[in-house]
Structures are given as C-alpha cells and as structure tokens.
Amino acid sequence: MSELPDWMYAPRVEGWFADDLDHLPQAPRHTELIDGALVFMMSPQRWWHGEVVDNLKTALRAQVPEGVRVGREMSIKLDQWNRPEPDVLVVRAEFEGRRTQFTPDEVLLVIEVVSPESAQRDRTVKVRKYAEAGIPHYWIVEEEEDGRAAVHVYELDGATSAYAPAGIFRGTLERPVPFPITIDLRRAAD
C-alpha cells in the first residue's frame, strides 16, 4: 500500500478548516469538507446525473427573479469545518467571477442529485447541516427505476432549525418558494 501525499494530511489536530480548500490546488476538483475531513468525489459521473444537473440549472435560470443567480458545483461555507459543494445552488449575492464559496445567508436553495457514492451524505448528513446553517430550501433529486427524476422538497422550519418535507414531485414540480418555479421533470434527464 502506498503512502498518502503530504498535502492530504490535515495541517492541525482539529482537521481541515473550510478556508483551507482555497489553498489546496492538488486536491481533486469537487473536494468537499465535512466535519473537518476532506471528501473526494472521484467516481466517474453518470450521464443521468450530469443531465439532471444541467437541466435543473437551465430551468431555474429561466425563472429566477432579478438579483438571484443559479450556479452549479460551488461550495458553501457552513461553518469552520464544513464546506459542502451542492450540485446546484440558487443564491442572492453580488459577486465577481473569482469567488470560490458562498455563506448560508446568501443561499436560497440547494439541490443535491443523488449518486451511489453520495447517497448517504445527501440524504442524512447534508440535510442536517444545511438546515442547521439556515438554508431555507433543500431538494434531493433521486433517479426512479424508469430513469425519470423524483424531487424530494424540504423547507426549513425556523422554530426547530430542521427541514420539514414539502412534497415529492414527479412529472411536474411547481413551487411558490423561494420564487415561483415550474419545472417539467419528465425532461430533467433528457
């Protein structure tokens, strides 16, 4: 078994800090930080996943109000030890192109498209972390047996700082928040 490269060892006993990701050019693209540990997304991406991400981003961009932007694969600094990178995010922020992260107060909606290697994190760990950070809306997109997308929608309950289920959508997703949204999910994986 080979030794790990030096850059993979945490620089301190407490682990990695969120801002350390900006100083790790050797790290693979799409490296996340969860509880001070680096998480590498190195598995080959499935076509379905990429198509759903692209199509959701395009559909949302066509509907966002002024001052709101849609992006993909940008990290959110939830706290000192957590900086996940959702598949799609909707933000209310002014920024220039060199930005590498957002703060939770700038994020309106986070979308994770489930892959086999991310399923546990997307369904449990990230649900809790995004809610605790105060991100108001979270969607988890699952692939159904027929290849179509099913979107599990959650809204933040401010009283409990936890997400409450707001529905599972197949066919058409219509939501009044965080802004009026209508998406034809039958075309999400085309």
- 3 assigned to some structural domain: no
Answer whether residue 69 is part of any domain.
yes
In a domain, 2, yes or no: no
Among the listed residues 184, 181, 185, 186, the one whose alpha carbon sits nearest the alpha carbon of residue 63: 181
91 part of a folded domain: yes
**Residue 110 within a domain:** yes
User: 3-class SS at 68?
Assistant: coil
Name beta bridge partners: 138: 110, 154
Helix (H, G, I), strand (E, B) or coil at 98: coil
In a domain, 23, yes or no: no
Instruction: For residue range 17-28, list pLDDT tens digits in order.
Output: 999 988 887 888
Number of folded domains that form the chain: 1
Domain coverage including residue 58: 45-187
What tens digit of pLDDT does each residue of 79-118 get? 999 999 999 999 997 888 889 999 999 999 999 999 988 8
CATH code, 62 = 3.90.1570.10
Q: Is residue 145 part of a domain?
A: yes
**Residue 73 belongs to a domain:** yes
